[in-house]
Amino acid sequence: MIVYLDTSAFVPMLVEEPTSEACIEIWNLADSVVSTRLLYVETSSALARTNLGIKALDHLDELWAQIRVAELEAELMSAAATAAFSFGLRGYDAVHFAAGASIAGGSAVLASGDAEILEAWRGLGLSTFDPNRN
């Protein structure tokens, strides 16, 4: 199974949150994990606001090495811009939405804790995972 993770489904693997167990479970079930480089930046920002220190960044780098990156090229950028307008998504959320939608199909599961992204993916009939409900 291919799993797309946005930041809200990734950070709980590094910072203890109510959804941590569910996020770790979907990671462990995945044959392949995909995200954009935004995940790294947003996660670094989230970690900077914790007391976890350099160990957390080391763990981020360890997990990051296992992620297949969906690059923000012209086609994905255009899809993200359309999603921002069509679904009223914030900029980075629209990029995560478009990147997830670009790999959807087959056994792909799109994971997010963000209700707006999940609703938009589900509106397209895509398979989703909400760690808040699992």
Amino acid 77: pLDDT: 95
What is the mean predicted confidence (pLDDT) over 68-91? 95
Residue written as tokens 């080391």?
A: 58
Q: Is residue 62 part of a domain?
A: yes
User: Residue 66: which domain range?
Assistant: 2-129
Q: Is residue 30 part of a domain?
A: yes
Interatomic CA distance for residues 67 and 71, integer angstroms? 12
This prediction's pTM: 0.92
CATH number at residue 106: 3.40.50.1010
Q: Quick check: 105 pLDDT over 80? A: no
For the chain, helix (H) and strand (E) counts, in that order, are 7, 5
Closest CA to 80 of 52, 59, 101, 54: 101
What is the mean predicted confidence (pLDDT) over 107-129? 95
Domains held by the chain: number: 1
For all residues of the chain together, what is the average pLDDT? 94
Q: Is residue 58 part of a domain?
A: yes
Closest CA to 5 of 65, 56, 68: 68
Amino acid 134: pLDDT: 65
Amino acid at 111: A
Amino acid 35: pLDDT: 98
Residue 85, phi then psi, degrees to nearest 5: -75, -45
Q: Quick check: 28 pLDDT over 70? A: yes
Q: Is 56:50 a contact under the CB 8 Å cutoff?
A: yes
